[in-house]
Amino acid sequence: MTVSRKDSSPSSPPPRSRVAVTGAGGLIGSALVRSLRADGHEVVRLVRRAARGADEVEWDPRRQYVDAAGLAGCDAVVHLAGAGVGDRRWTEAYKREIRDSRVLGTAAIAEAVASLDVPPKVLVCGTALGYYGDTGTRAVDESASAGEGFLPSVCVEWEEAAAAAEEAGVRVAYARTGLVVAAEGGAWGRLFPLFRAGLGGRLGHGRQYWSFIALHDEVAALRHLVDTPSLSGPVNLTAPEPVTNREVTAAMGRVLRRPTLFPVPAQALRLVLGDFAQDVLGSQRVLPTRLQESGFRFAFPTVDSAIRAAA
């Protein structure tokens, strides 16, 4: 099964593979689906309603239901679904939704995969760098233990929920993804309009590290995980040069040619975002050690190049 090249450039279509994707309507999922189909692969999208075509499979993560028959013949499953971490203010109710959407959904997918007579070769489960918590100025990679707080605890449960697939002998890779640089969605998608309007600025003191990845590299890395038999367990999907929020602010100004004069005070973030502000203001200096050691090469390794690719 080949769905990518290790240099992150487009792959040759043959042999054709059948890949199931959850979260196919999201920022990363939709880009992954486009990439796979462009290379001639068959994509099955898991949808939260009755399937309307041969390329759809019904599932309901809240009920932990998956129409497992629809996954038959899949070479790989890429599981990306989950409530958006930055979509709403973090109330206790929304924190439960964040946790349940990931833990219950992952358990449902893993159990469906494990139930098949011939399971897929690999399950790539999208998780997050939130696993590491606030690392300050300390650089960490996959060898680091989980941090403390809400997001680290969610990430631990999230990854543990895939146990059924591992026990069935399926290779499981946990794609711990950083902040995806894209204009069309995600956290960075909210920054572009502000900076283009000349209203951008650092968040809080700006010394916190942001571990980012260009959308192009994110998709290429997911495909690399599917194709690389030696990769299982946690793999950080983040560019090799984390930068501080001050440096992000300066890079956005350079690339978009706009002033960056409007810092957002920490207290204002706490009022708007609730508990999520702690993570926005926190620092994560995370390195993609296993990804690079496996031969993956980034097309956009620096923050300037990633922003230019998205702008």
- Model confidence at 198, pLDDT cuts 50, 70, 90, reads very high
Cβ contacts of 87 within 8 Å, gap of 6 or more: none
Share of the chain above pLDDT 90, in %: 77
Angle between helices 92-115 and 150-160 (to 10 degrees): 20
Q: In which band, very low, low, confident or very high, does the pLDDT at 264 lie, cut at 50, 70 and 90? A: confident
Please tell me the class of the 18-310 domain: alpha beta
Given this model, what pLDDT does residue 10 score?
A: 42
Which amino acid, 29?
Answer: G
pLDDT tens sequence across 10-62? 443 356 899 999 999 999 999 999 999 999 999 999 999 999 998 999 999 99
- Phi, psi (degrees; rounded to nearest 5) at 166: -60, -45
Q: Is residue 3 pLDDT above 90, yes or no?
A: no
Dihedral sign, Cα of residue 18, residue 19, residue 22, residue 23:
negative
The reported pLDDT for the residue numbered 7 is 44
Q: What is the mean pLDDT of residues 68-79?
A: 96
Q: How confident is the model at residue 213 (pLDDT cuts 50, 70, 90)?
A: very high
Q: Among 278, 276, 308, 64, which residue's Cα sits nearest to residue 181? A: 308
How is the chain split into domains, by residue range?
18-310
Question: Which pLDDT band holds residue 94 (cuts at 50, 70, 90)?
Answer: confident
In the predicted model, what is the mean pLDDT of residues 246-273?
A: 85
* Residue 187 banded pLDDT, cuts 50, 70, 90: confident
What's the pLDDT score for residue 191?
Answer: 87
Mean pLDDT of all residues in the chain? Answer: 91
pLDDT of residue 2: 66
pTM across the whole model: 0.92
Residues for the chain: how many in total? 311
HSE (side-chain half, CA atoms, 13 Å) at 150: 18
pLDDT the model gives residue 271: 63
> Tens of pLDDT along 116-171?
999 999 999 999 999 999 999 999 999 999 999 999 999 999 999 999 999 999 99
Distance, CA of 89 to CA of 186 (rounded, Å)? 15
